[in-house]
Amino acid sequence: MHLDADKWYDDETGGTFMGYWADSDVAVVTASIPGGPHAQRARYSFLPDQDWQQTEIGRHYVQSAR
């Protein structure tokens, strides 16, 4: 996350966290998926590369056997 924030400094950026709930108030993050190669970033807006993110989410989901 720090690298992505540094890379896009001064523009909005984002991504998706993958993981699971270890307890009702404890989330465990196992992967961070960045915005993607075709994400649109600007000073006050961010649109992720949805196709790329969905592919990455699916890949992580399959690898987790869930």
Of the chain, the end-to-end C-alpha distance in Å amounts to 25
Q: How confident is the model at residue 66 (pLDDT cuts 50, 70, 90)?
A: confident
Q: Tell the residue number behind the tokens 């400094």, with chain if given.
A: 9
In this predicted structure, what is the pLDDT of residue 46? 96
Give the residue numbers spanning the domain of 55. Answer: 2-63
For the stretch 5-64, pLDDT in tens is 899 999 999 999 999 999 999 999 999 999 999 999 999 999 999 999 999 999 999 998
SS3 of the chain: CHHHHHHCCCCCCCEEEEEEEEECCEEEEEEEEECCCCCEEECCEEECCHHHHHHHHHHHHHHCCC
CA distance 62 to 9: 33
In this predicted structure, what is the pLDDT of residue 4? 86
- 2 pLDDT above the threshold of 90: no
pLDDT > 90: percent of the chain = 86
Number of domains in the chain: 1
